[in-house]
């Protein structure tokens, strides 16, 4: 397959941006076929590196520590970094017992200890009955690979940010906002969604799926309903960009105290590169309450770059490529 077609067929994630930027900067890329999964050789002025299975060629050290959210929380807590109060369990009975003993306060969140992209996760759990349903969902969300252990945590209500740490510094911080629309007092919800999607990159539109329709029904709304002017209506709880979530540039607003915490968090779990899910009520003040929810060792970084990010954004691909090929910095 020609390299141009290979890059074109990559749907999302930073890897597509990484390869496009490499070509733009003059890095030579050779495709080496092996077992159906191409290995890419990147070469520039005497230095070569290899990529396999669309993973960025970054030295990550002990990145396996982040695969289990329970392990991540234990390490962060031992490093004096705040995480949500919670418990780990394998059954409803054990979870209810521990919730009482630890005096966890509703609303709660439930999720698999080793999930990703919010799969198997439930928010706003308001009662033991809702917790029962959430646990079943968390354990069975992966079909033939059911999860035995799950996390139950207090829901920390604050703004959510994705902080990208690379080589000991905060490269970018964006605020994540769930998929939703803002009323104008005239347009229907269906029209507002269509207008929003007309400006979005393909593959990152708001989806009118089962979750969105159930959310409308829960609030006694339909696609023909008209929202009041300036009223924001959230269509889903997760903040995934691929579901229509938004990202707003906040790097300069982030207090140095919080930047230091994020760098220490990445170092604590042995990462030179990682995406930190950071919650704070006021990211500009070191006195603000905060928690780190989890750390992704191979995060998509589309949300930090144009055209998805709202604001200036950061050319993450160039930053990574120039660290790999130092001579590129002279271009």
Mean pLDDT: which of 10-19, 31-40, 261-270 is highest?
Answer: 261-270
Per-residue pLDDT, 174: 97
pLDDT value of residue 142: 82
The predicted model gives 34-41 an average pLDDT of 77
Residues of the chain with CATH 3.30.1490.20: 85-155
Q: Which residues contact 250 (CB under 8 A, 6 or more apart)?
A: 161, 173, 174, 175, 283, 311
Mean pLDDT of the chain, nearest integer: 91
CATH classification code of 85-155: 3.30.1490.20
Reported as a pLDDT band with limits 50, 70 and 90, residue 10 is: confident
Q: Cis ω on the peptide bond leading into residue 107 (within 30° of 0)?
A: yes
Q: Which residue has the tokens 């590196």?
A: 49
pLDDT at 38: 82
Nearest to 81 by CA among 260, 250, 282: 260
What sign does the dihedral 303-308-311-315 (CA atoms) show?
Answer: positive
What is the pLDDT confidence band of residue 299, given thresholds at 50, 70 and 90? confident
Answering whether pTM is above 0.85, one says yes
Report the DSSP pairing between strands 47-52 and 39-44: antiparallel
Q: Name the band, by pLDDT with cuts 50, 70 and 90, for residue 160.
A: very high
pLDDT value at position 119?
A: 82
Kind plus residue range of the DSSP H or E element containing 221: none
Of the pLDDT bands very low, low, confident and very high (cuts 50, 70, 90), residue 168 is very high
Instruction: Find all residues with CB under 8 Å of 291, minimum gap 6, and list them.
Output: 82, 83, 84, 156, 158, 278, 279
Sign of CA pseudo-dihedral 217, 104, 161, 158:
positive
The pLDDT value recorded for residue 34 is 61
* pLDDT above 90 (res 22): yes
Name the strand (E) or helix (H) holding 128. Answer: helix 128-140
* Terminal alpha carbon distance of the chain: 30
As a whole number, mean pLDDT of residues 144-152 equals 83
Nearest-CA neighbor of 281 among 270, 272, 290, 293? 290
Residue 92 in this model has a pLDDT that exceeds 70? yes
The yes-or-no verdict on residue 36 having pLDDT over 70 is: no
**pLDDT for 62 beyond 90:** no
Q: How high is the pLDDT of residue 276?
A: 96
Q: Of 59, 119, 122, 112, which Cα lies nearest the Cα of 88?
A: 112
In the prediction, which pLDDT does 171 show? 96
Predicted pLDDT at 158: 94
- State how far the Cα of 227 lies from the Cα of 212, in Å rounded to an integer: 16
- Domain 58-82+158-178+239-300 in CATH 3.40.190.10? The answer is no
pLDDT tens, position by position, 194-241:
999 999 988 899 999 999 999 999 999 999 999 999 999 999 988 888
Q: State how far the alpha carbon of 95 is from the alpha carbons of 131, 142, 301, in Å.
A: 9, 20, 35
State how beta strands 159-166 and 169-177 pair: antiparallel
Question: Between 252 and 298, where is the model more confident?
Answer: 252
Residue 150, judged by CB atoms within 10 A of its CB (0-12, 13-18, 19+), counts as buried
What tokens were used for 149?
A: 């252990």
Residue matched to tokens 């009662």: 127
The confidence score (pLDDT) of residue 179 equals 94
For the chain, percent of residues with pLDDT exceeding 70: 98
DSSP 144-172: TS--S-EEEEE---SEEEEEEEETTEEEE
pLDDT band with cut points at 50, 70 and 90 for residue 2 = confident
Predicted local distance difference test score (pLDDT) of residue 56: 87
The answer to whether 260 and 138 are in contact (CB under 8 A) is no
As given in the structure block, the two tokens for residue 212 are 């969105």
Contact 104, 96 (CB under 8 A): no
């Amino acid at each position: 397959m020609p390299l141009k077609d290979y890059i074109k067929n990559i749907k999302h994630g930073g890897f597509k941006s990484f390869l496009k930027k490499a070509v733009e900067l003059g890095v030579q890329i050779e495709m080496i076929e092996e077992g159906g999964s191409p290995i890419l050789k990147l070469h520039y002025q005497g230095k070569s590196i290899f990529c396999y299975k669309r993973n960025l060629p970054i030295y990550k050290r002990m990145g396996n520590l982040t695969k289990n959210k329970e392990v991540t929380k234990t390490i962060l807590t031992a490093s004096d970094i705040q995480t949500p109060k919670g418990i780990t369990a394998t059954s409803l009975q054990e979870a209810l017992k521990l919730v009482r003993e630890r005096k966890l306060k509703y609303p709660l969140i439930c999720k698999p200890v080793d999930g990703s992209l919010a799969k198997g996760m439930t928010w706003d759990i308001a009662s033991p009955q809702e917790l029962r349903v959430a646990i079943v969902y968390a354990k069975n969300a992966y079909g033939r690979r059911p999860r035995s252990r799950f996390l139950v945590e207090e829901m920390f209500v604050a703004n959510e940010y994705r902080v990208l740490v690379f080589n000991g510094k905060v490269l970018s911080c964006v605020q994540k906002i769930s998929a939703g629309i803002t009323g104008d007092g005239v347009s229907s919800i269906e029209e507002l969604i269509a207008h929003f999607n007309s400006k979005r990159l393909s593959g990152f539109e708001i989806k009118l799926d089962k979750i969105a329709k159930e959310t409308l029904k829960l609030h006694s709304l339909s696609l023909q309903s008209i929202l009041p002017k300036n009223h924001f209506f959230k269509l889903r709880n997760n903040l995934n960009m691929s579901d229509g979530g938004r990202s707003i540039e906040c790097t300069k607003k982030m207090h140095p105290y919080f930047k230091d915490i994020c760098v220490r968090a990445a170092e604590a779990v042995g990462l030179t590169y990682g995406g930190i899910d950071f919650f704070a009520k006021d990211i500009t003040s070191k006195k603000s309450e905060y928690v780190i929810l989890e750390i992704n060792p191979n995060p998509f970084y589309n949300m930090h770059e144009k055209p998805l990010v709202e604001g200036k954004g950061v050319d993450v691909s160039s930053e990574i490529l120039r660290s790999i090929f130092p001579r590129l910095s002279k271009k």
